[in-house]
Structure 1
Amino acid sequence: MSQTYPDPFRRFMITLPSMLASTMVAVDITIANVALPHMQSALSASSDQIVWVLTSYLIAGAIATPLSGWLAGRYGRKLVMTISVIGFTLASALCGAANDLSTIVIARALQGASGAALIPLSQAILLDINPPERLARAMAVFSLGSMAGPILGPSVGGYLTDALSWRWVFFINIPLGIASFLLMLAFLPESKNERRVRFDMFGFVTVSVALAALQLMLDRGEQLDWFESAEIQLYAVIMGMATYLTAVHMMTAKDTFLRPELFKDRNFAVGSLVRALLGVVVFATVPLVVVMTQSLLGYSAFRTGMVGMPRALGTVAATMLLARVVGKIDTRLILGIGLLFSAVSMLLYARMDLYVDQDTMLWVGFVQGIGGGFVFLPLSVMVFATLSDRLRNEGAALFSLTGNIGNAIGISLLNRELIHFTAASRAHLVEGVRPDNPIVQYGMPDFDAGSATSLAQINGEILRQSAMVGNVDIYYLVFFVSLAMMPLVLLLRTPGPRASREPLPVME
């Protein structure tokens, strides 16, 4: 059965709403971060409570992401995506209008669940409407939204928060959602599986419980001192049991929620592992740099966003370049170069101090963006170039989920290590604060150990210095992780031309 592809105009009109929706969701992953302090004040919430604005979004999205593949196969991508856009837009409006914490937490959960299908199904649509020779360009377009979106989030969020209010972080989605919905309704093709697959309720429940327990463990661990807390231990036990049941069920039952056939494809299995590790190397470092820029360098939310713009520009530039060369040279070489760029950017961040100038922050961010662009696009091409067409919906959903899990683990891991490194540095610095220390006498000639003002002043400086040392140690850690990932690239197979393509789902 030969596959026909839409003409260039219709392909553009299908791509536009798909990318508009997926970019909107990608931006929303990070856009609310810089607005959290303003939201906390407006909603009269504590620090522990306001974190649920992020946690509810992530948990709901994690649970709904693998479900999107089955829903698209059962009811068709067009119906699933249009309903998802409507739900995401309405939830965004409710978030912006919320006047209490409970409302915004519920609305954020609805937003996360509604938007979960938009990124993986947009990727699957781009793969379907483009012939094999345009696969790299299609993934380049997808990469621009999915990679640049989270990077642009803090910039957009900082501007909207400073110029208008935190509510516009959510209201901005309304016109974008409406435009995306109308274009999808007019141009999006329908696709359904010819064979209806039953819904695996047991598999869905075990996967959902495992993901929810993992996300709660990651989000609450830092506040509760990790495994010193009985709550975190309970989450770990629940996650372990649910993961075990999921694995056994997947290997022994038919038509399971997670398809074991996906992991028989070596590129998909290895690529998913690499994507999860990129959560540490590429994605988890962005919020660390943002926090460092605001809290230690004293930049405003808007200025922090502007300093982060070159990171997005580097990603865009790398992606546009690679769209022309992917397929002409060994893709594994491009992946290795991307990891090298990421490693170099971390080494450059590690050489910074509290007096780093803005120009240095700009060009180092640009190098980091190039690294991300060089990694994500070729990885997407290699993962889906060898994957069976009939597994695209499930594959795109699981690949997206793997990335989200890697991002969440990476952020939690680096935050935990940052606290550890900062505490160790502070303990070391405090040891030297003595009246007889010549360095203290030189730096603070008026230091009076019996004065509360002098003690508060030197304690504040120690906190700043130790926090900066903690950040530097984190950047060195990520540098070594980037180098350690390079051998994994060699396990990927460079796909050759596919002699034939399997029949795709029926497109109406």
Structure 2
Amino acid sequence: MSAPTEVPHKGLITASLMLATIMQVLDTTIANVALPAMRADLGASSDTINWVLTSYIVAAAIATPLTGWFSERYGRKEVFIASIIGFVAASMLCGIAWSLETMVLFRLAQGVFGAAIVPLSQTFLLDINPREKHGQAMAIWGAGIMVGPIIGPTLGGYLTDTINWRWVFYINVPLGAVALLGCAAYLPHMARRIRRFDFIGFAALAIGVGALQLMLDRGGEVDWFNAAEIWIELGIALSGFWVFVIWILGTEHPFLEPGMFKDRNFVTGLVFIFVIGIILLSSLALLPPMLSGIFQYPIITTGVVMAPRGMGTMITMIAAGKLLRVVDARKLVVTGLLLTAWSLYIMTGFGPQMDSTLIVVSGFVQGLGLGLVFVPLSTVAFATLDPQYRGDATALFSLVRNIGSSIGISIVTLLLTRNTQINHTELVANISLLDPEFAARMSGQLGGLMQSLTLTRGEGAFWSVINQSVNAQAAMISYVDDFKAMMWVTLCAIPLALFLRKPTARPAD
């Protein structure tokens, strides 16, 4: 599996790999804003349309661990090319879907074929670059991973508004075609290794991961642990993970090689990327609904306001790739976490009447922090790992990152929903003519507003305006509480950097 000293056409290979990676990562968020338009065309309800997202997430999560075995058995290049072809074909089918059932089926196929693209692109970039350039390679890879979800909602909204929601999927066809041509022409062939397939190990892991992702995605819809469904899914997930761990420690040919877990940097990297997924990617899930719901920004404006976040990420990712040669990776990670905590502190000052300045500044600072954390972590995690484990290791790294982000998004969404209800109740309790402060306002500006609305649209219109204001205030307080909680968790994650070791030696490639 060792890579040659100098791989021909490295630039074209890198560009092709990143095009395929961005294509796959975009599909995790690009379809979200198109759901209302899909619901009308596919005849789905507001509850069932979410299966368009759930089916993709669960399928990708289950198929990701298979990446290592398939790539070793059938060849990395062959599996990567097959994944692109299958993903593009499934995207075309999603675009022509005529019912919810067919859409869910095609999204399942899209998730299965797309699962291997991200981990294999990381594996190829590590293989074709010497160790001293791994930092730069991970900077390029990380840029696609982190920037994709940021531009996804904006691009999806633009395509839905200007053309049709089906182009959310059709756009993958030209991107995939270019990536396919480049990969087929220039990707190097890697040595294959005959390896028995551990069905029991895979089944246990697949059941555990699938049940966990289903629980995280469905929890908000069924009121979490007040529903029997969530308890059942949690029990299945824990049972699946328990059986998997016991099985791979005792079987002769395990699905995932336990030898990779002897590498301290890799194990620490897994723990770190799990935490990073929880605390850093959650803010990406909070901002679009906040900007559209409270600030009434259209989709395009939301994308423009969030663009500096992607710019900041790109800047520090490029810089981190070069800095890793002269600066300890742990210092970069700590600096990135401090910048992220600072950005979240800025976000705790958000208010419903402010302009976009704080949003832009905090987003840019957070982007700088993201880049400084992700690149060194992705580099150090694989710096001392034996290359024979790369296929399984990159798949596991991507899986753990996705699970962390799913858990983080579920937690902040749950806190947001419940805190909004609590805040609304507390604010409404103070809206009474018996309250001196409210009575004073009623004799001033609010009284004039009430008189104006009562004369034109009736007294109910005034109280409707008051209720809308209370809803916005309650939601804003809840968003600030979420940002504050993420700030403290980010600060608490800093000591994890101490467990990372500066690489001194590694088995030769």
Same fold (TM over 0.5): yes
Q: Is the 8 A contact 1:72 1:192 kept in 2?
A: no
User: Hey, what does 2:255 align to over in structure 1?
Assistant: 257
| Matching residue within 400, 417, 420 for 2:418 | 420
**Which runs of no fewer than 5 residues in structure 1 stay unpaired?**
503-508
User: Hey, what does 1:495 align to over in structure 2?
Assistant: 503
User: Hey, what does 2:229 align to over in structure 1?
Assistant: 231
Whether 1:20 and 2:22 are equivalent positions in the alignment is no
In structure 1, C-alpha distance between the alignment counterparts of 2:37 and 2:343, rounded to whole Å:
31
In structure 2, C-alpha distance between the alignment counterparts of 1:87 and 1:439, rounded to whole Å:
64
Shift in Å, 1:356: 2.0
Shift in Å, 1:54: 0.7
* Structure 2 SS opposite 1:165: coil
Seen in structure 2, the aligned counterparts of structure 1 residues 282 and 76 have a Cα distance that, compared at 3 Å, is same
Q: Which segment is superposed worse, 401-410 or 300-309?
A: 300-309
In structure 2, C-alpha distance between the alignment counterparts of 1:2 and 1:447, rounded to whole Å:
76
Q: Which segment is superposed worse, 200-209 or 159-168?
A: 159-168
User: Hey, what does 1:482 align to over in structure 2?
Assistant: 490
Taking structure 2 as the reference length, what is the TM-score of the superposition?
0.95
In structure 2, C-alpha distance between the alignment counterparts of 1:376 and 1:147, rounded to whole Å:
9
Give the AA of the match of 1:145. G
User: Hey, what does 2:112 align to over in structure 1?
Assistant: 113
| Matching residue within 384, 387, 393 for 1:386 | 384
* Structure 2 SS opposite 1:472: helix
User: Hey, what does 1:308 align to over in structure 2?
Assistant: 306
* Structure 1 SS opposite 2:297: coil
In structure 2, C-alpha distance between the alignment counterparts of 1:91 and 1:357, rounded to whole Å:
42
Give the AA of the match of 2:508. R
Q: Is the 8 A contact 1:159 1:305 kept in 2?
A: no
Give the AA of the match of 1:209. I
Seen in structure 2, the aligned counterparts of structure 1 residues 295 and 6 have a Cα distance that, compared at 3 Å, is same
Give the AA of the match of 1:4. P
| Matching residue within 444, 447, 456 for 2:446 | 444
Give the AA of the match of 1:304. T
Give the AA of the match of 2:144. G
Q: C-alpha root-mean-square deviation of aligned residues, in Å?
A: 1.7
User: Hey, what does 2:5 align to over in structure 1?
Assistant: 5
Whether 1:470 and 2:442 are equivalent positions in the alignment is no
In structure 1, C-alpha distance between the alignment counterparts of 2:191 and 2:435, rounded to whole Å:
75
* Structure 2 SS opposite 1:34: helix
Any idea what the Cα deviations from partners look like across 1:96-141, whole Å, max 9, x if unmatched?
A: 1223211111111111111110000010001011011111111111
In structure 2, C-alpha distance between the alignment counterparts of 1:146 and 1:2, rounded to whole Å:
25
Q: Is the 8 A contact 1:155 1:308 kept in 2?
A: no
- Between the aligned residues of both structures, percent identity stands at 41
User: Hey, what does 2:172 align to over in structure 1?
Assistant: 173
Q: Which segment is superposed worse, 416-425 or 119-128?
A: 416-425
Give the AA of the match of 2:330. R
User: Hey, what does 2:34 align to over in structure 1?
Assistant: 35
Shift in Å, 1:447: 5.0
- Write the mapping of 1:25-424 to structure 2, written as runs, cut at 5 A: 25-194=24-193, 196-424=194-422
In structure 2, C-alpha distance between the alignment counterparts of 1:488 and 1:2, rounded to whole Å:
31
Q: Is the 8 A contact 2:347 2:358 kept in 1?
A: no
Taking structure 1 as the reference length, what is the TM-score of the superposition?
0.95
User: Hey, what does 2:466 align to over in structure 1?
Assistant: 458
User: Hey, what does 1:506 align to over in structure 2?
Assistant: none
* Structure 2 SS opposite 1:223: helix
In structure 1, C-alpha distance between the alignment counterparts of 2:242 and 2:48, rounded to whole Å:
32
Q: Is the 8 A contact 2:311 2:364 kept in 1?
A: yes
In structure 2, C-alpha distance between the alignment counterparts of 1:3 and 1:426, rounded to whole Å:
60
Shift in Å, 1:158: 2.2
Q: Is the 8 A contact 1:75 1:192 kept in 2?
A: no
Q: Is the 8 A contact 1:148 1:315 kept in 2?
A: yes
Q: Is the 8 A contact 1:281 1:342 kept in 2?
A: no
In structure 1, C-alpha distance between the alignment counterparts of 2:485 and 2:63, rounded to whole Å:
32
* Structure 2 SS opposite 1:30: coil
Seen in structure 2, the aligned counterparts of structure 1 residues 281 and 253 have a Cα distance that, compared at 3 Å, is same
In structure 2, C-alpha distance between the alignment counterparts of 1:155 and 1:318, rounded to whole Å:
23
Seen in structure 2, the aligned counterparts of structure 1 residues 356 and 280 have a Cα distance that, compared at 3 Å, is farther
Shift in Å, 1:2: 7.8
In structure 1, C-alpha distance between the alignment counterparts of 2:325 and 2:504, rounded to whole Å:
9
* Structure 1 SS opposite 2:28: helix
Shift in Å, 1:41: 2.7
* Structure 2 SS opposite 1:222: helix
Give the AA of the match of 1:206. A
Q: Is the 8 A contact 2:3 2:128 kept in 1?
A: no
In structure 2, C-alpha distance between the alignment counterparts of 1:351 and 1:14, rounded to whole Å:
44
Q: Is the 8 A contact 2:2 2:387 kept in 1?
A: no
In structure 2, C-alpha distance between the alignment counterparts of 1:363 and 1:99, rounded to whole Å:
43
Shift in Å, 1:276: 1.0
Shift in Å, 1:451: 4.3
Give the AA of the match of 2:220. E
Give the AA of the match of 1:360. L
Q: Which segment is superposed worse, 57-66 or 181-190?
A: 181-190
Shift in Å, 1:5: 2.7
Shift in Å, 1:360: 2.5
Shift in Å, 1:3: 5.2
Seen in structure 2, the aligned counterparts of structure 1 residues 415 and 186 have a Cα distance that, compared at 3 Å, is same
Seen in structure 2, the aligned counterparts of structure 1 residues 15 and 426 have a Cα distance that, compared at 3 Å, is same
